[in-house]
Amino acid sequence: MPRSRTLRRVALRLAGAVFVLWAVATLTFFAVHLVPGDPAQAILGGPGSQASQEALDRVRADYGLDQPLAVQYLAMLARLATLDLGDSYALKTPVAELIGGQLLGTLTLALLALAVAWGFAIGLALWSTSAGRIGRAIAAGIELTAAALPHFWLATVLIAVFSTSLGWLPPVANDSASGLVLPVLTLAVPLAGFLAQLMREQMLEALEQPFTTSALARGETAAGIRLRHALRHAALPAVNLSGWAIGYLISGAVVVETIFARPGLGRTLLRATELRDVPVVIGVVLVVAVVYVAMTVLTDLVSRAVDPRIALEERA
């Protein structure tokens, strides 16, 4: 029985994922087309290029842009069904290749930022829950400020301080690891604010639970309780939040990759949106959706590992 239940769960998940991807592709397709604009002009060189009428008509015919929207939509679905993301209008190259070349950079950035944010958040939560009322107030202030920092502003300040004034770190990405520090910090700090806030509240709640008293009675130290018991409680909602965080980080990557001149999906998406490069926009959004779905599954599994009660509840 448990085995067929697992299979059903997997099948349901897969069906759900396919539905999500179809919905995402459809919404994106119509959203891109609802905004007025002409991809043909962009195909012919964008700003400053001087396209003739003949060239525009030719491009519209070549790319099927003169077809009714419904026909274009069905053609896109047919393509996607065969796992073909199509060719970029502007770059004349296959979308899959384009995304393949940019995916690693963005994922590295997002995952490093997530890891650093967790580090900050755990540190802050552990410190603030042991630092009394004043410590907690200070921590709350830091968390709120950090969470509210806009990426573009934070990036500019970090560049001004660490590159222009101190000269410690390069202001734009380069091949060395030092080029990653400022972009990762830019993404990690606001996220750390969110995570720390959540963790601190959960830890404080856990520390008031009866098991804390019993652990203290068994001779556990206060620090040990925070590390071994309260942190586990606090981690659970934070793990769930991390699935959402990946989406947040990838959208943040649009800004960060532009400011730090890093290649990546965010910049690809920004540029493709400006040019109405529909195949690229849909391709990037689909890939982000796949990563998001995968992260949700992953956080679900991690939650189960952290808290076995979840699986038990489901079975009951």
Partner 1 sequence: MTSRRSIRPLTLAALAAASALVLAGCTPAGDSPESSGDPVTGGTLVYASGDGEPSCLDPHVGGNYPQALIVGQFLESLVSLDESGEVIPWLATEWTVTDDGLTWDFTLRDDVSFTDGTPLNAEAVKVNVEHLKNPDTQSSTGYLALGKVDSVEVVNDTVARFHLSAPDSALLESLTQPWNAIESPAGIARGMEENCLAPIGTGPFIVDEWVPQDHVSLVRNDDYNTGPADRAHDGAAYLDGIEWRFIPDSASRYAALQAGEVDVIDNAQPDTLDQAAKSGSLVEIDAPRPGASNRIELNSGQAPFDDVRVREAFIRAADVNDGIDSLFFGTAERSYSVLSSVEPLAYSDGALFDTDLDAANALLDEAGWTERDADGIRSKGGVPLTVRFPVSTNQSIPAEQSLFEQIQATAKEAGFDVQLEPLDLSGWYGALFANEYEAVSAPYTKVGPDVLRILYHSDSITPAPSGYFANLAQLDDPELDALLTEAASESDPDARASLYEQAQQIILGGFYALPLYDQQNHFLHSPKLEGVRAMPTVSTPTFADAWLAD
Interacting residues toward partner 1 by CB under 8 A: 35-60, 90-93, 98, 101-102, 156, 159-160, 163-164, 167, 170-172, 174, 258-261, 263-264, 267-268, 271, 273-276
Residue whose CB is less far from partner 1, 97 or 205 = 97
Contacts of 81 (CB under 8 A, 6+ apart): none
CB-wise, 245 or 259, nearer to partner 1? 259
Least distance to partner 1, CB of residue 86, Å: 14
Q: What is the DSSP string of 189-258?
A: HHHHHHHHHHHHHHHHHHHTSHHHHHHHHTT--HHHHIIIIIHHHHHHHHHHHHHHHHHHHHHHHHHHHH
C-alpha to C-alpha distance for 21 and 43, rounded to whole angstroms: 27
Angle at 246 between CA 245 and CA 247, to 5 degrees: 90
A 10 A CB-CB count for 291 gives 18
34 residue type, one letter: L
Residue closer to partner 1, measured from CB, 1 or 166: 166
Least Å distance, CB 153 to partner 1, is 11
Nearer to partner 1, 226 or 276 (CB): 276
Tell me phi and psi for residue 169, to 5 degrees: -130, 150
Cα radius of gyration rounded to whole Å, the chain: 24
* Residue number, 167 or 219, with CB nearest to partner 1: 167
CB of 89 to partner 1, least distance (A): 9
Q: Least distance to partner 1 from the beta carbon of 133, Å?
A: 41
CB of residue 110 to partner 1, shortest distance in Å: 17
CB atoms within 10 A of CB 63: 17
Residue closer to partner 1 (CB basis): 127 or 152: 152
* Least distance from partner 1 to the Cβ atom of residue 87, Å: 9
Q: Which residue has the tokens 């709120």?
A: 144
